[in-house]
Structure 1
Amino acid sequence: MIQAFIFDLDGVITDTAKFHFIAWQKLAQRLGFDIDHEFNEKLKGVGRMDSLNLILQHGGISLTEAEKENEAARKNDEYVELIADMNASDLLPGAREALEAIHAAGLKTGLASASKNAPAILARLGISDLFDTVVDARFVINGKPDPEIFLKGAAQLNLSVTECIGIEDAVAGLQSIKDAGMYAIGIGDPAVLTLADTVIDGLHQFDLKHYI
């Protein structure tokens, strides 16, 4: 019996990918190279430091750990500035309705996000009260595709993984869900999201009765 749905944030609830791309692109340009939208797809669902390492590898750049921390912090500051004006209009179609339907049915919701800014984003979107638990990069050792974040989400909801469904738009996130032992809903292209048990275009297509 399904008791909860655990959502990824970016690309599922809202779309901050454009802001991440701008901030990462600025970082790359400071270091003397560029990244494009095609490369940016590799960063979907990946944590900050892992994303930085992929970008540095792409540019053939080597930095000390201290330099990496400095660049990651600077990138995050620029990203936070970019998302400062987010509001409820930035919710993706169907997101609020899906969350409200789940709560109306007496079920629980969790968030499993690679972003340390997730709580602030939820507040700006006006949906903090629609989540029973939030697990972000501050609370896990291993980022996606490791299953830790979804395992912790289920644990914080006091549920087994078989009682939870994970919802993701990224391959790394779906790997995390499946390795956690959960049923996975993919958001996006079925040809790409082959790990998902079912795929929909977005939460505007989410129909709760199909899963409970």
Structure 2
Amino acid sequence: TLLSPKYKSKFNRLAKIHRSLTTSYERNLWIALPNLQRLQKRLGIPDAVAEDALRIYTQTVKKKLTMGRSIDTLLSASIFAALRVHGIPRTAEEITKIAQIPKKKVIKSYRLILMEVLPKLGMKVQHFSADRYVDKFNEELKLSMQSRNIAVKLIEKARDSGFNSAGKDPKGIAAASIYIASKICSENRTQKEISQLAKVTEVTLRMRVKDLQKYANIVD
């Protein structure tokens, strides 16, 4: 079907603008910006984070790091990096699910950004301890503040008793503490429910539960 005069005029204007973007850098940003806005809206991230994600993404394009990487992969990695710069504990899985990009590709691009881009921009990511994830998961599971406080104290007690969390996913530790705390407070949540939310396996959750029970001296 033929375009109506109104839409034909609009299409021609857009085509003219697109032709005027002579460099691949400009064309890339022309495509990337609306995609970033779409991801920002769907992820519900603050404007300040989106602005830094754009700064990060723009730098990856300037440094010609786009070879073999899709726009949405780099955008997702840039958003993940910006969230960590701002200290907002969103998981890579949350981003990749909405962006519909394989997690492996986004993490690979994120590591590249970590080494090649953030130092250039004077940005540093914050590394999240399990405590930070406790607040996030507790809120999403609609558990009480009492349950949250017990979960945090469990982690603190385990650390004080010699529990070494190095090399262990903080999400798994947070999930385990919440599972135990929810049982103590009679706000029971299943292992399946918590592991799915935390994006860890039920096997990992059970292992971390055993760790916390051992070091925090809790009898099941």
Q: Same fold (TM over 0.5)?
A: no
The two structures have a TM-score, normalised by structure 2, of 0.29
Higher relative contact order, structure no. (Cα contacts within 8 Å, ≥ 6 residues apart): 1
**Bigger radius of gyration among the two:** 2
The two structures have a TM-score, normalised by structure 1, of 0.30
Which structure shows the higher strand fraction? 1
